[in-house]
Amino acid sequence: MNVLFIEDDRMNRRVVRDMLDVAGASMTEAEDAERGLALIDAQDFQVVLIDLRMPGMDGITAIRHIRARGDARGQVPIIVVTADTAVDLRARCIDAGADEVIFKPVAMDQLFDAMGRILARDAGGMIV
């Protein structure tokens, strides 16, 4: 499995990389949304993990850019990884096109549960 993590904090990227290594997944890193979008143009990912607050383009805007694509890469599952605890956060992320929202600090079971839920969906969006 190839995962893209768009996150400006190097330590957060390292922690998630270590978790994904345990599962045998590979992770590509992007330190900002613009770089993440360029990577999505260049390669296929099975899952995109994205922070919301980054310098430059924020995560919500990046999610909208991904979903606006007219190709299969625009349908990649997206999991928001955030420390933001705003009451309406989950709804805003889902409205933008995210599939799941998990909170920092990320726990391995939380990450793997979210990935499992979205990867288990069939083409119709139903949980199998």
Instruction: Express each pLDDT in 67-83 by its tens digit.
Output: 999 899 999 999 999 99
Q: How far apart are CA 118 and CA 71, in angstroms?
A: 19
Pull the structure tokens for residue 56. 């430059």
Please compute the mean of the pLDDT values over residues 103-120 and round it to a whole number. Answer: 93
Contacts (Cβ under 8 Å, ≥6 apart) of 117:
100, 127
pTM of the model: 0.93
Closest CA to 68 of 106, 41, 47: 41
The pLDDT of residue 128 is 40
- Rounded CA gap, 70 and 94, in Å? 19
DSSP 8-state class, residue 69: -
Give pLDDT, residue 31.
97
Averaged pLDDT score across all residues of the chain: 93
* Distances, alpha carbon 101 to alpha carbons 42, 43, 54, 80, 115, in Å: 25, 23, 16, 5, 10
